[in-house]
């Protein structure tokens, strides 16, 4: 089955039930955007969602996924892994930057306290700022 026909089939199944993408998403525990991505062929349901869809539409898994190009699913899965990896790298970078910022604040605070103590000692001992 061509990708366009498969995508249209998912949308047709949903429409025949009189559901919006949001309503179907609610039934399956996913967002409206996720349902939209399935219908546009931008992503595929995971196995758990496939089972829920087949139960919901009262059809076998085979009927539901017949004609799905496994190569497309694999390629999309690889893309999602790469995107997930990028997000993980960004999050690790944010955490490292936050740790560096905190270390900078601690070191800066210690230096300011030491400087304040030196100035206070100098003023109190009369050695600083005396002409």
Is residue 131's pLDDT more than 60?
no
State pLDDT tens for residues 3-26.
555 567 889 889 999 999 999 999
State pLDDT tens for residues 56-102.
989 888 778 776 656 666 776 677 777 777 878 888 889 999 999 99
Is residue 33's pLDDT more than 60?
yes
Identify the band that residue 124 occupies on the pLDDT scale cut at 50, 70 and 90: confident
Query: Is CATH 1.10.260.40 correct for 3-68?
Result: yes
Is residue 52's pLDDT more than 60?
yes
Is residue 103's pLDDT more than 90?
yes
pLDDT of residue 6: 59
How many other C-beta atoms can be found within 10 angstroms of the C-beta atom of residue 30? 18
Residues 6+ positions from 14 with CB-CB distance below 8 Å: 21, 24, 35, 39
pLDDT of residue 109: 96
- Where exactly are the structural domains of the chain? 3-68
Is residue 113's pLDDT more than 80?
yes
Burial class (CB in 10 A: 0-12, 13-18, 19+), 97: exposed
30-56: average pLDDT = 89
Is residue 108's pLDDT more than 90?
yes
- pTM, two decimals, is 0.50
């Amino acid at each position: 089955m061509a990708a366009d026909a498969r995508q249209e089939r998912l949308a047709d199944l949903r429409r025949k039930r009189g559901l919006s993408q949001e309503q179907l998403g609610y039934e399956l525990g996913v967002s409206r955007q996720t349902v939209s991505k399935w219908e546009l062929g931008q992503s595929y349901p995971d196995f758990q969602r496939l089972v829920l869809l087949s139960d919901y539409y009262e059809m076998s898994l085979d009927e539901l996924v017949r004609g799905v190009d496994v190569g497309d699913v694999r390629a999309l899965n690889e893309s999602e892994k790469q995107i997930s990896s990028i997000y993980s790298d960004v999050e690790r970078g944010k955490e490292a930057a936050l740790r560096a910022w905190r270390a900078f604040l601690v070191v800066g605070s210690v230096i300011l306290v030491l400087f304040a103590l030196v100035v206070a000692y100098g003023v109190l001992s009369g050695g600083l700022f005396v002409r």
